[in-house]
Structure 1
Amino acid sequence: MFVEERVEKIIKLLNENQKVVVKELSKKFNVTEDCIRKDLKALEKQGIIKRTYGGGVLSRKSAPHNDILIRKNINLEEKLKIAEKAFELIQPSETIFLDISSTNMLIAEKIAKGNKKLLVITNMIDIFRTFSKCDHVEVIGTGGVFDKELNGFVGSTAIENISRHKVNRAFIGSCGVNMFDKSITTFDVEDGNTKKAIICSGKKVYLVMESKKFYYDGTYKFADIYDIDAIIVDEKPDEKICRELEKINVDLI
């Protein structure tokens, strides 16, 4: 087997399993462990993997860090699909939480155009504005420290107010989900801590995100994948991720 062919197979294994082990690769390809280490070193130089003791893990991209209002119009088609799925889940007379998220802004717009009578709790200014002329939607704000970049409220006051509520469904935005270590991430620490409180408030907790975010990471972990009930996506991710979610009883919608 040529080196290039072996390296291609190693990359395929990385995409399937997120990690590789030197000893296992050595046996699989019938080459020395030093030979495999050279392959992994070359892949690390290309930025494809990060070498670890005894092997390597797939390098993950850092999620784009844009202002919330800019993000609303990025991947709009995908987010509209997610918003439609979320809206269909919501039942009349429920209490729901919509946190700071460009996708949640689109869910709010669908609710405003519909006729489901709901109580919506939110910490995002734009979601407040969406419901300003809706007779069928009652809105409660969390208050808290106003974050201009997020255009919403975060911090201890928001968290204290959120903790007083129990909602039927909480919809949470995220910068990325890592199925290797089961982490859910965002960029801002206070935003992450506020999301934690929202998760605790929900009888049913949903992540709303594009499928590609399974391959991205933020910089602050605010929850484990086990903390949520379901992930609402625009399209199914690869089979490996689907199987992992099934194992831990997290629904993919």
Structure 2
Amino acid sequence: MRIGFIGVSNMFLEERQDIILSMLARDGKVRVRDLSEKFKVTEDCIRKDLGALEKKGKLKRTYGGAVRIRENSHMVEVSKHRNTDVEAKQRIAQAAVKLIHEKDMVFLDISTSNLAIAELLVKMELEVTVVTNMIDILVVLARNPKIRVVFAGGKINKSRDGFWGGMTLDFISRLKPDIAFVGAVGVDVKENSVSTYDIDDGINKAAIIRHSKKAYVVAEARKLSTDGNYNYTTLDTLSGLITDSEPAADIRAAADSYGVEIILP
């Protein structure tokens, strides 16, 4: 009888912890008091649950509760993930091109979402100037004679799909684009940060934002819960964030507090 009782207890413990993780995935955070009331157990019991889950790397405990751990997928090279989230990037591109006007100077930096923007632009009749430091974007836009393409060269990057470094940065500093779209590895709306992996890439992105009249970060919805290793700007420096699906209410509220518009397809 005793063995049977322990088995039932352990099974409930695992089920309770699975539900806690599901709530974290949905809401981004949980509170000890709320969980105690939900499961009809003591707050000390919930704290032990959170401690066990933290040891497994499933969450991060905070005062009075826990928060979801933001992922770092370490997909450093842009060229290696150009075939991921294809539909999301196409939706982002559809929203982005609506912001571009005739005669605009547009900056598209190294980003597979920006490559999707280029693939839409090349099919349009807009007469624009596009500045880019990404080789694939240059190749795509060369097919449309109405688009004036300016390439920001310099030192080729690690993945050999674009340029950055001092020469690229000097060139960017001389421009005043009407609108810029910059990629991101992670967007932490609540912490007011936008990140990438490589410092040189981040320095370029920050300069593009600084010198452009309007600047938008393009990021798939999954990147609202991931991080890079280098924070290159804050959300309040941006004109907006373009993503592919409606974020959680608390994320939208945080964006609103910084005056950042979230733009959807």
Q: Report the TM range for the smaller structure's normalisation.
A: 0.7 to 0.9
Map of 1:180 onto structure 2: 190
- For 1:226 and 1:98, locate their aligned partners in 2 and report how far apart those are by CA, in whole Å: 20
Specify which of 121, 144, 151 is matched with residue 111 of structure 1.
121
TM-score, normalised on structure 1?
A: 0.88
Specify which of 210, 232, 236 is matched with residue 242 of structure 2.
232
Specify which of 36, 57, 66 is matched with residue 56 of structure 1.
66
Unaligned runs of 5+ in 2: 1-11
Map of 2:3 onto structure 1: none
Map of 2:177 onto structure 1: 167
Structure 2 residue 49 is matched with structure 1 residue 39: yes
1:68–1:150 Cα contact (<8 Å) kept = no
- For 2:68 and 2:236, locate their aligned partners in 1 and report how far apart those are by CA, in whole Å: 22
Alignment of 1:111-150 (within 5 A): 111-149=121-159
Unaligned runs of 5+ in 1: none
Alignment of 1:20-35 (within 5 A): 20=30, 33-35=43-45
How much has 1:9 moved relative to structure 2?
6.5
- Residues 150 and 82 of structure 1, relative CA distance in 2, 3 Å threshold: farther
- Residues 246 and 58 of structure 1, relative CA distance in 2, 3 Å threshold: same
Q: Which amino acid aligns with 1:167?
A: P
How much has 1:151 moved relative to structure 2?
1.0
- Residues 131 and 115 of structure 1, relative CA distance in 2, 3 Å threshold: same
How much has 1:206 moved relative to structure 2?
0.8
- Residues 28 and 78 of structure 1, relative CA distance in 2, 3 Å threshold: closer
- For 1:40 and 1:81, locate their aligned partners in 2 and report how far apart those are by CA, in whole Å: 37
2:190–2:251 Cα contact (<8 Å) kept = no
Decide which moves more: 50-59 or 39-48. 50-59
The structure with the greater share of residues assigned to strand is 1
TM-score, normalised on structure 2?
A: 0.84
1:21–1:55 Cα contact (<8 Å) kept = yes
1:63-85 CA-partner distances (Å, limit 9, x unpaired) = 34153223221111111111111
How much has 1:50 moved relative to structure 2?
1.5
Q: Give the count of matched residue pairs.
A: 252
SS of the residue 1:43 aligns to: helix
- For 1:250 and 1:19, locate their aligned partners in 2 and report how far apart those are by CA, in whole Å: 22
How much has 1:22 moved relative to structure 2?
5.0
- For 1:57 and 1:115, locate their aligned partners in 2 and report how far apart those are by CA, in whole Å: 47
Map of 1:92 onto structure 2: 102
Specify which of 233, 236, 253 is matched with residue 223 of structure 1.
233
Decide which moves more: 38-47 or 221-230. 38-47
How much has 1:3 moved relative to structure 2?
5.7
- For 2:136 and 2:68, locate their aligned partners in 1 and report how far apart those are by CA, in whole Å: 37
Map of 2:9 onto structure 1: none
